[in-house]
Amino acid sequence: MLRFRAALACFTRLPTGAVPLQAYQQALGRLPFVGLVLGFFVGSIAWLAWLCLPAPLAAVLSCCAWAALTGGLHLDGVADCGDSLFVEASPARRLEIMQDSRLGTFGAVALLAVLGIKTTALAGLFSSLPEAQGMALWLLIQRCLLAAVLARCLVLSMLLLPSARPGGMADSMRHGVRPADKGLALLLLLCVVLLNGMTGLYALLAAGIACALVLRAAYKSIGGITGDVAGCLVEVMECAALTASCLSFARL
């Protein structure tokens, strides 16, 4: 429970109380369970927005709530990766750009793409919801859980790559992930996929492809992973899972 509280404090803006500093080094192993909390909150907020507002506006507010709950932490990774991974430069120079707090053109485009895809996918889900409010709530929570949990389970696959910045956040946290954490993440992933049926399989496939593409780009560009790459992975996989859910949602 202490590691879970540390994960909530590190990866969300939810109140958790005081957490010992050493617990943060083991927070990454509990990241998949943070997805459960975020998925529930975002799904509930999205349902309330859908009840009161037109679908496009409800989708925008839901996306804003999603970003607010995480404190924009992962979006910062999207911007930094957009600025650094897609420029012609040496790996060392790319890492310098990644640490620069200024937002460049590629970073702005990456942010707009991620937020645009996520908002549009949520609007697509809203437009296909059943009229029964209880069923609509349950389906929204299912889909938000699917995206949030899938992204945070699959992000642990980045540990297969070396750290591009020794001593950085990703490097310090990777040593706190235990084999049991990976097993629990796999079990949680299977549960949310089965809960969503064929939609879960579509989302898993889409998120897996997105994960592989981002990791390949990071390995080719900077030789490994960083905390920014991890944040970018989470956002890109959430977009992929939501898009797959939206596409399959219309067939229900």
Mean residue pLDDT across the chain: 89
Residue range 176-231, pLDDT digits in tens = 788 888 999 999 999 999 999 999 999 999 999 999 999 999 999 999 999 899 99
**What pTM value is reported for the model?**
0.92
Residue range 102-154, pLDDT digits in tens = 888 899 999 999 999 999 999 999 988 888 888 989 999 999 999 999 999 99
Residue range 166-184, pLDDT digits in tens = 777 766 777 778 888 899 9
The 3 state secondary structure assigned to the chain is CHHHHHHHHHHCCCCCCCCCHHHHHHHHHHHHHHHHHHHHHHHHHHHHHHHHCCHHHHHHHHHHHHHHHHCCHHHHHHHHHHHHHCCCCCHHHHHHHHHCCCCCHHHHHHHHHHHHHHHHHHHHHHHCCCCCHHHHHHHHHHHHHHHHHHHHHHHHHHHHCCECCCCCHHHHHHCCCCHHHHHHHHHHHHHHHHHCHHHHHHHHHHHHHHHHHHHHHHHHHHCCECHHHHHHHHHHHHHHHHHHHHHHHCCC
- Among 19-23, 63-67, 97-101, 128-132, the minimum mean pLDDT is found in 19-23
Q: How confident is the model at residue 252, as a pLDDT?
A: 46
Residue 147 to residues 1, 45, 73, 219, Cα–Cα distance (Å)? 23, 15, 17, 24
> Quick one: how far is CA 210 from the chain centroid?
12
